[in-house]
Amino acid sequence: MIGGVFVLLALLVQVMFVNRLPLPAGGSPDLVLLTVIGVALTRGAGPGAVLGFCAGLLVDVMPPSAHLVGQYAFVLALVGYVAGRGAGGPATTVVLCVLIAPLLAAAVGGLISDPRVSMSTLTQQVPVTIVYTVLVSPIVIWLTTRGRQARFST
């Protein structure tokens, strides 16, 4: 429940604030993804997948949106599961999830022949996003390893 509140807050901050900052090279860190990863890390695979799914639905419905409902529900459910399962330490898990999430999103977009997903998206947009998100991710790693019970406990 508390995880859901964090996701909602992260999403609001993302669309109202972070996306509007004209950062160098365009693009911006994906805070929603990081929040899902962080909560899933502390809560395990099953709850991670459920939270990811709900967060994804919220991302799909949150205005302004022009893509299909379900796209990010799919991506974030999978990411939540992977983050909950864990792959090595928390740091490697976070980096792995940050890497696979935009690629998965692009793959799902490609499946439904979304005109927004093309080669130039993969070569220009996705790497910038990944770099920014990885730059912010130490905060999530620190928060989850420092106080497992402190922040994300219900």
The contact set with other proteins (CB under 8 A) reads 12, 14-23, 26-33, 44-46, 48-50, 52-53, 56, 58-59, 61-74, 77-78, 81, 84-85, 105-106, 108-109, 112, 114-118, 120-121, 124-125, 129
Work out how close the CB of 45 gets to other proteins at its nearest, in angstroms, rounded to a whole number.
Answer: 4
Report the distance separating Cα 108 and Cα 85, nearest Å. Answer: 22
User: Rounded to the nearest whole angstrom, what is the least distance from the CB of residue 90 to other proteins in the complex?
Assistant: 18
DSSP 125: I
The H or E element spanning position 20 is: none
Nearest CB to other proteins, comparing residues 84 and 90: 84
Task: Please say which residue, 116 or 148, places its beta carbon nearer to other proteins.
Answer: 116
Minimum CB–partner distance for residue 146 and other proteins (Å): 25
Burial 71-101 (b: 16+ CB within 10 A, else e): bbbbbbbbbbbbbbebeeebeebbbbbbeeb
State the nearest-atom distance from the C-beta of 17 to other proteins, in Å: 6
Q: Please report which helix (H) or strand (E) contains residue 147, including its range.
A: none
